[in-house]
Amino acid sequence: MSTLEIDRAQDEAYSVPIDRIDVSDPQRFQDDTIWPYFTRLRREDPVHYCRDGMFGSYWSITKYRDIMAVDTNHRAFSSEAGGITIVDRKAGERFPMFIAMDPPKHDEQRKTVSPIVAPGNLANLEGLIRSRVRTILDGLPRQETFNWVEGVSIELTTQMLATLFDFPFEDRRLLTYWSDVATTFPQPGQPIDTWERRDAILADCLAYFTKLWNERINKDPGPDLISMLAHSPSTRNMDPREFLGNLILLIVGGNDTTRNSITGGLWFMSQNPGELTKLRNQPTLVPSAVSEIIRYQTPLAHMRRTALQDFTLGSKRIREGDKVIMWYISGNRDEEVIEDPDRFIIDRRNPRQHLSFGFGIHRCVGNRLAELQLRILWEEILARAMDIRVVGEPQRVASNFVHGYSALPTRIAA
């Protein structure tokens, strides 16, 4: 954004009466003009009620410690009662998934898939990831512009997803497509314009995976996610909607966090060349840089809870049944907790102090795998001394949930 555009966005954010602010508008995320609205809410009304928002009435929780208080209190704030996004759909229209369940069912189903990201298995995957990263980087065009999102971010994460599911490798881009469809808010004029169209595409996803399930349930248990779900007592009797819900969760969770942080990382380095120089001069900073990339990007902008009881947060009384939105993207810029939060600093003192993976029982199960892929990518970029240049503005997706990119024009000088 130009200085003029930044100033205009700030003026608009502070000209709106505070009780009329609605930070749920996806256009502000696509335009990257959302930041001054969150700054204002953190300073003036950190537990903010929006009565007539684009997605109905809801509470915005915008400060780090308040978000932690909600995220770690599953007795007062439910994932299951209203789902995990700001969009309201009836219970029968939502796909059950373990991130949108409360204990004890959540804990049982999460435990089913967690072995795939256990330390021992991650150690086994490291060599494969490194080999794939090398192949991807070596195969990128030189001295011509290409889309980093397509060429690197999507390709690396989709290959990893195919491995985790033991999914037919030649069809792996279906996983990216289904992830994008699952996180789309249908709008007229868009490729996915109705909920019915979205659900029909996801039914194709279910049919494909049902075939894989039927094959693996009749075999000995394997190390892939489908086999784990098919053979675990807590998941083997799921109905089709619950199976699809957990598939969506695993596909999106395994795709969006890493994919958009891969793109965001290159964009941030291009905008902060001093940090890139610092990284090149001191490659041991890669793990710290990875954490800072994930904080600064915040790949999932929010998570929703529904109040199970009346609850006072700050000075505000949240009522039973109210929709409560934890804006991770705002908490990661909270000046009270994170020093100089609007700057991208790869060697900050506490780089892992961020909200991007959530807290409590719903903390992202694949966080270490995401960090591993990003670490290896940057290690290999540095090892090659690649002169990767961003040659245009990123194109962002119009979503208040997935904070991501559709394109980043890039050129490798040599």
Q: In the structure, what pLDDT confidence band is assigned to residue 97 with cuts at 50, 70 and 90?
A: low
**CB-based contacts of 300, cutoff 8 Å, min separation 6:** 256, 257, 328, 356, 401, 402, 403
- Tokens for 31? 């335009």
Please state, in angstroms and rounded to a whole number, the distance separating the CA atoms of residues 232 and 114.
Answer: 12
Give the contacts of 216 (CB within 8 A, at least 6 positions apart). Answer: 222, 224, 226, 227, 230, 231
Which pLDDT band holds residue 221 (cuts at 50, 70, 90)?
confident
Q: How far is CA 124 from CA 39, 158, 255, 258, 372, in A?
A: 43, 18, 20, 19, 12
Name the pLDDT band for 235 (thresholds 50, 70, 90). confident
pLDDT reported for residue 56: 94
* Percent of the chain predicted with pLDDT > 70: 93
Contacts of residue 288, Cβ cutoff 8 Å, sequence gap at least 6: 346, 347, 348, 351
Verify cis geometry, omega within 30 degrees of 0, for the bond prior to 141: no
Rounded to the nearest integer, the mean pLDDT of the chain is: 90
* Percent above pLDDT 90 for the chain: 63
Q: Classify the C-alpha dihedral 388-392-395-401 as positive or negative.
A: positive
Which of the four pLDDT bands, split at 50, 70 and 90, describes residue 237? confident
| pLDDT tens digits along 121-135 | 889 999 999 999 999
CA–CA gap between residue 390 and residue 191 (Å, rounded): 28
Residue 119: per-residue pLDDT: 84
- Banded model confidence at residue 180, pLDDT cuts 50, 70, 90: confident
State the total domains in the chain: 1
For residue 15, the enclosing domain spans: 3-412
- Buried-state track 104-113, b at ≥16 Cβ within 10 A, e below 16: eebeebbebb
Rounded-to-10 torsion of CA 111, 113, 114, 117: 180
For strand 302-307 and strand 323-327, is the pairing parallel, antiparallel, or unpaired? Answer: antiparallel
* pLDDT tens-digit map of 159-169: 999 999 999 99
Give the N- to C-terminal CA distance of the chain in Å, as an integer: 28
Close Cβ partners of 398 (under 8 Å, ≥ 6 residues apart): 26, 27, 29, 30
pTM strictly above 0.85:
yes
Predicted pLDDT of residue 375: 97
Here the CATH number for the domain that contains residue 168 is: 1.10.630.10
CA torsion through residues 201, 176, 359, 22, sign: negative
